[in-house]
Every structure is written in C-alpha cells, then in structure tokens.
C-alpha cells in the first residue's frame, strides 16, 4: 500500500513568539519542519525561522500519526492491564506496534477491549505535551513507575537531556514529534498479537507485541483492511498446506523446509528451467561442498564480519564453517589454474544450498528460513567488461521477471559499517552499479549502509499481483575478495592483473521465490509450472480404461497428469480439482470415448470439446522458450 504524498511544500518565515499551531491552520497539518527539523505544532518559534507544514497525508505525517496512535494504545493497555510494562512502540511501514512485558499473554478478545478504551481516549481529545528533563531525572521517574525497560533504554542514551511525552495519564520516553492531540486520530485498527524478544535478541525475555495500523481517513483504513484480507487468502503458509506443497516440523527444527511431492515438483521445474536458462547464456554449472575449512572463512572476512550468521563444526580437530554463501568454492575454481584475458568473463552457476543462523523471531514460512538454495552465480571479468556484465544480468532479470508477471524497482545498497576493502574500491564498485542502471534507463533509490560486507549491490524488488514488494534478485560488485584470495589473469601485456567479481542471484533463493510465487498466483500456478497440469476424470466405471490410456499418453508427452476414476459424481471431482488449483480437467464420458475426444474444463469454468493431441499441444506450448 503506497501513501499519497500531499504534504504542503509551502514555506513560511515565522514571527517571534508564535506557536506553529497559531501559524499553520488546517485539520490535516499535524506537525512541521523548522529549519529542516521535525517538531510538534506546540513549538514556540524565534523570529526568522523557515517552516514547512507536514500533512497527515504525507509519508512523514502518516508516520507521526501512527507513532502517536501507538502511544494511545500503550495508555489504553496500562489503564486496562496495570501489570503490563511498556517497552518500545514505533511506527512501521504499514502501521505500528508496541511491546509489553506481561506474564499473561494478550488474547484477540483483549484487542477489542483495548480498541474500545483507545476510542474513549481519542474522543477525549487529550493533548500531547512535550517536556525536556535531565537523563538522571528521567531514570528516577521511570524507576519510580516500575518501568525497567525505559530505565535500560535511558542508560544507553549518551545525551544529558531527554524528552518525555504525556497524553492523559500516560507518559513515555520519546523523541517525537507527535500530533497535537488524540482527537487527530480518525481511523485505526488493532490487528494481531505476537511474541517478540526484547531488543530482538532471543537471549532476552519474550514480550507481547500488539500490532495495529492507522490512516488519515476511514476510507484509506478500509482499503488497507481489504488488502490485508486479500493477503491472508494468498498466505503461502496456508496454501502450502492446502495444496500439499511443503511442510515444517518442530521435530526437524525451525526454519527448515520439507518439500512434499507437489512442492518438490514445482522446485524441480524451477531448477531445470534455471539450468537451461544459464547454460544458454554462457554460464558453467559448478558445485561446491557444504562445509569448508575455517581458514578460508578467515581469509574471506566472513569470520570477522559474518560469523553471527554462520554455523561451525569440527572435523578431525579442525574448524569448518557450514557455508552461508557459495562464493568461496567458485573463487577456488577460478584460482585452480592460470587465467588469461581471453578466458574472461568466466561465469560460474550453482544451485547451491546454504545454511544461515537466522533468529527464530524472523523466521517466516518459505520467506525466511535457515537452510535454502540460491540460484547463485559468480562472474569474474576484467574491469572494462564490468558494465556490460552488470547490464547483461539486468537483462536476464528483465526476461525472467516478465515471464512470471512481475514488475520491479531497483535500489543501490551502499557500504555498511562492518565491511572490508578500500574506499576507492567501494567507490568504483558503486559507480559501476549506478552506470549500469543508468545505461538501462532504470531509476533507483539509495539504501545507505545496507550493502554486503565485501561490496555494494543492486537490490531488485518485485511487485506482485496485489502491489506488495519482495526482495529477490541482487547484483553485488566485489573488488575485495579477488584481492584477498590473490586472483589474477594474464593481460594482453603479459602481466598479471586483478579481476573484478560479481555475485548475483536472479530468483534469489528457491524457497523464498516459491513463497512469493504462491502468493503472487494465489496458489494457481501457470500451466507450465503447475505440479499437476491436468486431471483426467471418468464419469462412470465404463470409461476407466479410456481415461487411463489418456493419462499414459499425456505422460509420454511430458505432461504431468493424474487419473480420477473414483466412484464419485463428476461435479464433486471437478470441485476438488479446482480447490487444488489444477489448470485443466479432462472429463470423459461415453460420448467422448466413442469420439476419441475429451471435454476440457479450465480453472475458470470454461469448457470445450477437444482431441487428446490438441490438449497435448496446448499444454506443451505453455512451456516458456529459453
């Protein structure tokens, strides 16, 4: 869901002593930016300040509204459940949450009670008031209120002065700004309850997190709630169970996926598609081991910069790292012989299974797992080949995403705090990514500090059938690992030169991409990707042999077909096949058997008479040409 940007760009030069609320009229104006800094409307101004009003319809305004609504929720919770100790309550991209320490979990029935209390607070139109006090006084205040989490936050703050916000009987530690009063909240809804570790650390206590959302108008809220309902219908975890695609088991462990036969078939189709795709585009298929000596991970920088995401084991009293990435084996393949400039670019492709230590709180079906398979490739090229190779990868992403029906957006993620390599190399790598996107005429945003530790990257965010964005494909430009592993090629001048390395995925991880596909298609895979493409149904036992013969002929032509010759009414069989999202149902009765035909019905209910060869041609023509 995207928000319409309607914040006024009008700038005002202020008069001394006036408040912003005096200066900025209008129910949609909820805060302001003064000389570039966001402040409350209760702020009194010095003369000559430059002011920009913030509308509730703007991105910043909506964030302020939602954060204020989180405070109102915390006030309601404290009034109803005095034993609940508040921790933090930020705004999010699509709403807000607040975490509470409470021994008894909140129930969904509690949400309705909390909503009612929030409505009373909103109706009372309580003002938000800001007070700045010393850090020591704030610690003393929250200690007296028996709020240890606020005290812990304060102890981590370096400033000597902090700000508190109060509305009604509730006071919170907060930088602000906030809406002028609770009455500015026009449309909100509490959505769910979940567990969350304090500060996201699974070694800390589990808290109770209440999620909610707020919008500037009821119509916008209603649209969002409709969107959530549609998202629930598409939830890949539910569809995965119903369509018998995959399962997860506590016996196996969190974040580990077991593919059922139908899900295994979809995965196999995707992997076969990818192998053919890459072979035709000059990639070499390679495979690396699942564990590598710890010394290699030290050289690469993973030990210093990525260790918390890795698992380790000992073999023959030596440390081994279970691979979280496929790049080291590909580097060793490159380094296994002398390379010439004539050999470059070299492109290695691997459907490599990797294992990463993800925190349990972020695991989510297929979308966030601990073991997954990447459609990983590493390209080693000369510096003057770099732009062309990046453009070639973008072209490949274009082609593949169009096949699945995705539009996408791009952003460049820059150097993180924990990283390796020189500033000069990072600047060269970032410049190459920008130049490639500009060559393609693609707009991009900058995502500061979110690159890989060895290089910046282009992140490609897919937009699905209902407008949600998913991170899948990525292109990473790396000058650092070739340096650390002393990679070289012999140039035209007969001397050694350093190659550049590109790390890239197109689908990303097979698990995540399958999860995205399930939600994008609402479980109704296109014909070429469906685990079962056609169910052949006999109307009576008299057609069983004819139907079986059709299934065998379809399978001989590489079509995934099943027989349904049960002694059930045909309407029941059709409904069951449709509930399993099967693209085609081939119905055969006495007339079809006499005419050597089928009655073909698709998922939408369209029906036509057809020859068996016609069905074979239709299904096989759906397979994408590579």
Residue 275's SS3 state is: helix
Q: Beta strand pairing status for 95-101 and 597-602?
A: unpaired
Cα-to-chain-centroid distance, residue 573: 37
Q: In whole angstroms, give the CA distance from residue 535 to residue 541.
A: 16
Q: What spatial distance separates the first Cα and last Cα of the chain, rounded to whole Å? A: 34
The 8-class DSSP code of residue 54 comes to E
Q: In this structure, what token pair is assigned to residue 275? A: 């192998």
Which residues does the annotation mark as catalytic?
Answer: 327, 356, 374, 376, 378, 457, 503
Q: How many helices (H) and strands (E) does the chain have?
A: 19, 32
Helices (H), 124-216: 135-144, 148-156
Smallest CA-to-CA distance from 511 within 356, 297, 328, 318 is with 356
Looking only at the bridges linking them, the beta strands covering 346-355 and 284-285 are parallel
Whose tokens are 């921790």? That residue is: 87
List b or e across 118-151, with b for residues whose CB sees 16 or more CB atoms inside 10 angstroms.
beebbeeebebebeeeeeeebbebbeeeebebbb
* In 104-145, alpha helices (H): 108-123, 135-144
Strand pairing report for 246-247 and 258-259: antiparallel
């Amino acid at each position: 869901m995207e928000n319409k940007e309607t914040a006024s760009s009008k700038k005002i030069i202020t008069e001394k002593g006036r408040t912003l609320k005096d200066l900025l009229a209008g129910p949609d104006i909820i805060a302001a930016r003064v000389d570039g800094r966001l402040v409350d409307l209760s702020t009194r101004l010095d003369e000559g300040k430059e002011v920009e009003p913030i509308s509730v319809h703007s991105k910043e305004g909506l964030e302020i509204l939602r954060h204020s609504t989180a405070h109102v929720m915390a006030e309601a919770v404290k009034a109803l459940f005095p034993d609940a100790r508040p921790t933090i309550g930020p705004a999010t991209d699509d709403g807000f949450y607040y975490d509470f320490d409470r021994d008894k979990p909140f129930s969904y029935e509690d949400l309705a009670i909390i909503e009612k209390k929030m409505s009373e607070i909103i109706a009372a139109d309580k003002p938000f008031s800001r007070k700045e006090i010393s850090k020591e006084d704030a610690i003393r205040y929250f200690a007296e209120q028996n709020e240890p989490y606020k005290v812990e936050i304060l102890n981590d703050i370096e400033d000597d002065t902090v700000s508190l916000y109060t509305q009604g009987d509730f006071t919170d530690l907060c930088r602000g700004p906030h809406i002028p009063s609770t009455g500015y909240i026009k449309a909100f809804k509490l959505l769910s309850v979940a567990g969350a570790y304090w500060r996201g650390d699974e070694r800390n206590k589990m808290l109770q997190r209440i999620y909610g959302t707020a919008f500037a108008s009821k119509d916008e809220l209603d649209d969002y709630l409709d969107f959530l309902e549609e998202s629930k219908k598409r939830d890949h975890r539910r569809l995965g169970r119903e369509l018998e695609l995959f399962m997860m088991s506590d016996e196996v462990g969190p974040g580990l996926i077991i593919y059922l036969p139908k899900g295994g078939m979809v995965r196999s189709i995707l992997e076969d598609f990818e192998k053919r795709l890459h072979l035709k585009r000059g990639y070499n298929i390679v495979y690396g081991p699942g564990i590598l000596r710890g010394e290699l991970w030290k050289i690469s920088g993973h030990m210093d910069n990525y260790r918390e995401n890795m698992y380790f084991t000992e073999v023959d009293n030596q440390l081994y790292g279970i691979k979280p990435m496929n790049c080291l084996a590909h580097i060793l393949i490159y380094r296994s012989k002398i390379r010439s400039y004539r050999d470059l670019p070299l492109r290695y492709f691997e459907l490599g299974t990797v294992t990463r230590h993800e925190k349990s709180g972020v695991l989510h079906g297929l979308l966030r797992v601990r073991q997954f398979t990447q459609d990983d490739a590493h390209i080693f090229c000369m510096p003057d080949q770099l732009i062309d190779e990046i453009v070639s990868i973008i072209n490949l992403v274009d082609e593949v995403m169009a096949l699945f029906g995705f539009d996408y957006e791009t952003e460049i993620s820059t150097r993180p705090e924990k990283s390796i390599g020189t500033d000069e190399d990072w600047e060269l790598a970032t410049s190459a990514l920008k130049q490639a996107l500009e060559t393609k005429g693609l707009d991009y945003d900058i995502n500061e500090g979110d690159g890989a530790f060895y290089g910046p990257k282009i992140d490609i965010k897919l937009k699905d059938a209902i407008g949600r964005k998913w991170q899948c494909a990525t292109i990473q430009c790396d000058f650092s690992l070739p340096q650390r592993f002393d990679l070289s090629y012999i140039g035209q001048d007969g001397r050694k030169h350093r190659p550049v390395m590109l790390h890239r995925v197109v689908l990303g991880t097979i698990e995540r991409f399958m999860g995205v596909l399930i939600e994008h298609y609402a479980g109704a895979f296109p014909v070429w990707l469906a685990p079962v493409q056609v169910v052949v149904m006999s109307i009576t036992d008299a057609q069983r042999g004819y139907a079986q013969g059709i299934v065998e002929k379809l399978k001989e032509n590489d079509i995934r077909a099943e027989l349904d010759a049960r002694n059930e009414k045909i309407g029941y069989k059709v409904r069951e096949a449709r509930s399993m999202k099967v693209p085609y149902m081939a119905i055969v009765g006495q007339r079809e058997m006499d005419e050597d035909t089928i009655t073909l019905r698709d998922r939408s209910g369209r029906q036509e008479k057809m020859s068996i060869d016609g069905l074979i041609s239709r299904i096989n023509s759906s397979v994408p040409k590579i």
